[in-house]
């Protein structure tokens, strides 16, 4: 396993400045958020000019791009799939193997979600890329058993594990080891049962236990720090503290 950081850690800064901050913090790898709302690069921009998006993703101050997160924002279903496909082509061009996608909102029929995710996996597979389904409160993946059931019904689909949503969400700190065998990617911050993000060391995330569980299932990939700024808190210090904590466990 190795430690990386998401570009969302500095979503308030231009892309090049965000990269410079991550270099200053001595991260060596990044996950780029291709989000229409809060990403430095938008899926619509990738679809409009793949070459330019590829250039930007290669110019990363010697930081290795280890994953992409894809969040198109469009009510046009076919446009969503075209944007997702373009982002998978980008992943192939910059030699990224794993991309993250969100599950649908709660209330979506299970079979409809399975059909949607099978299409995403097929589009990614055409580029030699695999899809991790983000565990997230308010969406179908908020329950670990449901997330596992979805993976079992969509061949090739894995999980992007964000344990904060199992600790702070409706699952309220219950067991989630059952998802470990499906994990393709991991995002981390410290979390309490009441707050999705708290200062490092003040939450309930058991990092050592998590690393041991992942090791049990031969997970050997990314632990991506995903901490957003908090009021009156030294953001750089929090990121540095989390990097050092995770590296001490590996």
Res 158: pLDDT? 98
What average pLDDT does the segment 50-74 reach? Answer: 95
Which is nearest to 113 in space by CA: 147, 136, 143?
147
Which is nearest to 5 in space by CA: 65, 83, 57, 50?
65
pLDDT surpasses 80 at 239: yes
% the chain with pLDDT above 90: 93
Res 169: pLDDT? 81
Res 103: pLDDT? 95
- Per the structure block, which two tokens stand in for 247? 């590296």
Which of these ranges, 113-117, 179-183, 192-196, 225-229, has the smallest mean pLDDT?
192-196
pLDDT band at 76 (very low <50, low <70, confident <90, very high): confident
Assign residue 41 a region: left if phi > 0, alpha if psi is -120 to 50, beta otherwise?
beta
pLDDT band at 18 (very low <50, low <70, confident <90, very high): very high
Written in H, E and C, the secondary structure of 23-80 is: HHCCCCEEEEEEECCCCCCCHHHHHHCHHHHHHHHHCCCCCEEEEEEEECCCCCHHHH
Class of domain 2-249: alpha beta
Give dist(CA 126, CA 148) in Å, integer: 24
pLDDT surpasses 80 at 194: yes
Which residues, other chains included, contact 182 with Cβ-Cβ below 8 Å and sequence gap of 6+?
A: 147, 148, 151, 157, 158, 159
CA distances from 204 to 4, 61, 127, 188, 224 (A): 21, 34, 38, 12, 18
pLDDT band at 77 (very low <50, low <70, confident <90, very high): confident
Res 74: pLDDT? 77
Q: Which helix (H) or strand (E) holds 248?
A: helix 235-249
Average pLDDT, the chain: 95
So where are the chain's domains? 2-249
Give dist(CA 149, CA 147) in Å, integer: 5
pLDDT band at 61 (very low <50, low <70, confident <90, very high): confident
Which of these ranges, 125-139, 164-178, 226-240, has the smallest mean pLDDT?
164-178
Q: Match 């996996």 to its residue by tokens.
A: 121
What average pLDDT does the segment 75-101 reach? Answer: 95
- Per the structure block, which two tokens stand in for 132? 């991790």
pLDDT, one tens digit per residue, over 129-163 is 999 999 999 999 999 999 999 999 999 999 999 99
What average pLDDT does the segment 79-104 reach? Answer: 97
Res 148: pLDDT? 97
Contact 178, 152 (CB under 8 A): no
Which is nearest to 243 in space by CA: 36, 17, 22?
22
């Amino acid at each position: 396993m190795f430690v990386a950081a998401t570009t969302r850690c500095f979503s308030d800064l231009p892309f090049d400045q965000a990269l410079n901050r991550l270099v200053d913090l001595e991260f060596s790898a990044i996950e780029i958020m291709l989000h229409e709302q809060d990403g430095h690069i938008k899926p619509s921009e990738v679809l409009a000019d793949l070459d330019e998006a590829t250039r930007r993703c290669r110019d990363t101050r010697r930081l290795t791009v280890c994953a992409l997160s894809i969040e198109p924002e469009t009510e046009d279903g076919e446009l969503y799939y075209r944007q997702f496909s373009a982002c998978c082509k980008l992943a192939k061009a910059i030699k990224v193997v794993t991309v993250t996608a969100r599950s649908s909102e709660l209330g979506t029929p299970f079979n409809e979600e399975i059909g949607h995710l099978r299409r995403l996996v097929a589009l990614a597979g055409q580029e030699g890329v695999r899809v991790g389904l983000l565990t997230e409160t308010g969406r179908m993946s908020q329950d670990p058993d449901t997330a596992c059931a979805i993976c079992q019904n969509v061949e090739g689909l894995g999980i992007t594990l964000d344990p904060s949503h199992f600790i702070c969400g409706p699952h309220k700190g219950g067991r989630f080891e059952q998802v470990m065998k499906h994990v393709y990617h991991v995002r981390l911050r410290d979390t309490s049962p009441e707050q999705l993000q708290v200062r490092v060391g003040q939450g309930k995330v058991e990092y050592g236990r998590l690393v041991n569980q992942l090791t049990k299932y031969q997970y050997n990939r990314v632990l991506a720090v995903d901490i957003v700024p908090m009021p009156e808190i030294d953001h750089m210090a929090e990121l540095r503290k989390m990097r050092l904590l995770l590296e001490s466990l590996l």
